[in-house]
Structure 1
Amino acid sequence: MIQPVRLALALVLAWGAATPAVAAPVERADRKRSVVVASSPADALPVVRVAHDTPTLFLFPAPINRKTLTFDESRIRVLDAGERSVIVQPVADLPEGERYEVGVFFADGRAPARAAFSLVTDPAEVDTRIDVQRPELTDMACPVDVPRTPRPEDFVLLGFVDKEGVTATLIKPYDDASQGFSIVSAIAYRGQGWVLVDATIRNHPGRSIWEPREAVLTGRAGLPLRARLVTVEAGEIVPGGSGRILAVAEVNQLSASPVFTLEMVGDGRMLTIPNVRLPKVASGGTP
């Protein structure tokens, strides 16, 4: 009677030795830390460790534009987005080697304009709270915002393009001999809440170097529209040379196909571009 008992005990021990042990789930260590957002498109995104069973809270040092929040909905859930906070949680632990970006624009537009993070899953740690820090501009830095290369979705998220699309009209070449300018080519664009004139200007030989500093669009009725100027490459246009200048104005409402005069003032001379016909608003999303 003793032998069967010994045999059964031996079989149990043998079975236990042959069956691989099931590893107990490892509990991840919670971490709260600060990260600095990338200051330029060339910088690597800060890495944040996330887990499917733990929400991760991002606290921002300035208000964010929640409409510009971008993420992969198939992998990441946004549980909440506030004026200065975002809470995310992956649908499932991210496989090893996979990273997913979460990004949002700051509301003030100051550089760096966008905060973006690379999300990964770490078997040992998870970030439960991230205090986002924004690098300050150095004394040598240019105060103009230089964000990463824009993506198509940015224009929609920021509200510059909607279902109405963008429309455009050509502006006839124009020569202003009295002031020493020629309009080589120009085109007017209109989108959601904005108009833009893109002009290539030639400074006549024998004239002084010219750089535009102020711009105004004046219509047949209503108040003038003050525009901001964006120069492409060098700001100054040398005698006999050409330069490309963009004049951008923010608008709420415009009458259908209004005709404006664009005036650019700088360095003792004023460039006038007459008959700037701003495009009609598109209908049905067709430019």
Structure 2
Amino acid sequence: MIQPIRLALALVLAWGAATPAVAAQAERAKRDRAVSVANGPADSLPVVRVAHGTPTLFLFPAPINRKTLTFDESRIRVLDAGERSVIVQPVADLAEGERYEVGVFFADGGVPARAAFSLVTDAAEVDIQINVQRPELAGAACPVDEPRAPQPEDFVLLGLVDKEGVSATPIKGYDDAERGFHVQSAIAYRGKGWVLIDARVTNFAGQSPWLPREAMLTGRVGLPLRARIVMADKTAIQPGEHRRVLMVADLPQLPASPVFTLELVGDGRTLKIPNVRFPKAAFGATP
């Protein structure tokens, strides 16, 4: 178990040595901290300070399921993910008020099931190493190393699903011949405080490769809502190829007229999907 941690530390040192120092980064104090995982959805996510050009290493007290790692690829890079470690670095310093979540499930089935952190940029300090603490594992002799995929109960424990369940509605297929896209098999989901769009996007033959990097939901009223993009294959969609793309956003309450335009900003082209409607909450369950 010691070897992967030594490797992660070596990678952080190597990246740090290879990154040119700039005045703003040199002024930041580098911190090595212990951070406790949130026990449940009611608890605030621990804040971790990151900076462009400075890798931040997370060391976990138990094995993690790397396939469950979630982050906004347009703003955060994951430089390395090991059995018990993750190294992240922002694409650029985050603006004041910007916060991006990085999360991963533990592989041992314990509680809390997931470790999540809110990334910010601080002008004075940057965290170079975060020693993750898991309260339920305090004093345990040795965590179980058996890999474990997320289970249905995890979503209830995390507060992502409640008695109202999850509702879904189809989205009509959409052709954007001018920009070279076709959208098929799209479905909009709504859960407790979140919405998700699951779409299959085709990049027309003859077009250039395209990778969506930013997602935004714009309604008739209110501010645009930023969504994170999730793709199993994170390479560019080649001409003539179709790819499954998921967009996830936090949305505690839907507006009175929940009709949105979804914008996917990518390499040189933007895909706009109009008339995206999220379903009403499912009230089939009883307290």
TM-score of the superposed pair, with normalisation by structure 1:
0.54
Amino acid across the alignment from 2:38? N
Q: 1:283 to 1:182 in 2, by over 3 A?
A: same
Q: Is the 8 A contact 2:36 2:132 kept in 1?
A: no
SS in 1 for 2:154: helix
Q: Is the 8 A contact 1:62 1:106 kept in 2?
A: no
Residues 140-166 of structure 1 show CA distances to partners (whole Å, capped at 9, x for unaligned) of xxxxxxx94111111001110011100
Residues 228-260 of structure 1 show CA distances to partners (whole Å, capped at 9, x for unaligned) of 111122431100110111111101211256111
Using the alignment, how far apart are the partners of 1:241 and 1:112 within structure 2?
42
Alignment of 1:63 with 2:50, yes or no, is: no
Alignment of 1:271 with 2:271, yes or no, is: yes
Out of 106, 109, 132, the residue aligned to residue 115 of structure 2 is 106
The within-5 A match list for 1:143-158 is 148-158=148-158
Using the alignment, how far apart are the partners of 1:259 and 1:192 within structure 2?
18
Q: Is the 8 A contact 2:35 2:132 kept in 1?
A: no
Using the alignment, how far apart are the partners of 2:272 and 2:261 within structure 1?
7
Q: Which residue of 2 aligns with 1:226?
A: 226
CA RMSD of aligned residues (A): 3.7
Using the alignment, how far apart are the partners of 1:107 and 1:231 within structure 2?
19
SS in 1 for 2:182: strand
Q: Is the 8 A contact 1:102 1:116 kept in 2?
A: no
Q: Is the 8 A contact 2:171 2:186 kept in 1?
A: yes
Using the alignment, how far apart are the partners of 1:225 and 1:132 within structure 2?
43
Using the alignment, how far apart are the partners of 2:133 and 2:152 within structure 1?
15
Alignment of 1:180 with 2:180, yes or no, is: yes
Q: Is the 8 A contact 1:201 1:242 kept in 2?
A: yes
The within-5 A match list for 1:148-227 is 148-227=148-227
Q: Which residue of 2 aligns with 1:144?
A: none
Q: Is the 8 A contact 2:229 2:247 kept in 1?
A: yes
Deviation at 1:279, TM superposition (A): 0.8
Mean Cα displacement is larger for which, 106-115 or 258-267?
A: 106-115
Using the alignment, how far apart are the partners of 1:103 and 1:173 within structure 2?
41
Q: 1:263 to 1:103 in 2, by over 3 A?
A: same
Q: 1:130 to 1:220 in 2, by over 3 A?
A: same
Amino acid across the alignment from 1:108? F
Using the alignment, how far apart are the partners of 2:261 and 2:131 within structure 1?
35
Deviation at 1:108, TM superposition (A): 2.7
Using the alignment, how far apart are the partners of 2:110 and 2:216 within structure 1?
39
Using the alignment, how far apart are the partners of 2:172 and 2:185 within structure 1?
7
Q: 1:190 to 1:202 in 2, by over 3 A?
A: same
Deviation at 1:130, TM superposition (A): 4.5
Mean Cα displacement is larger for which, 158-167 or 248-257?
A: 248-257
Q: Which residue of 2 aligns with 1:280?
A: 280
Decide which structure has the larger Cα Rg and report it: 1
SS in 1 for 2:178: coil
Q: Is the 8 A contact 1:63 1:108 kept in 2?
A: no
Deviation at 1:67, TM superposition (A): 3.4
Deviation at 1:219, TM superposition (A): 0.8
Unaligned runs of 5+ in 1: 1-34, 40-60, 69-99, 119-127, 134-146
Q: 1:158 to 1:173 in 2, by over 3 A?
A: same
The within-5 A match list for 1:59-98 is 61-67=34-40
Identity %: 53
Amino acid across the alignment from 1:103? V
Matched residues, number = 178
Deviation at 1:272, TM superposition (A): 0.8
Deviation at 1:62, TM superposition (A): 2.5
SS in 1 for 2:155: helix
Deviation at 1:115, TM superposition (A): 5.7
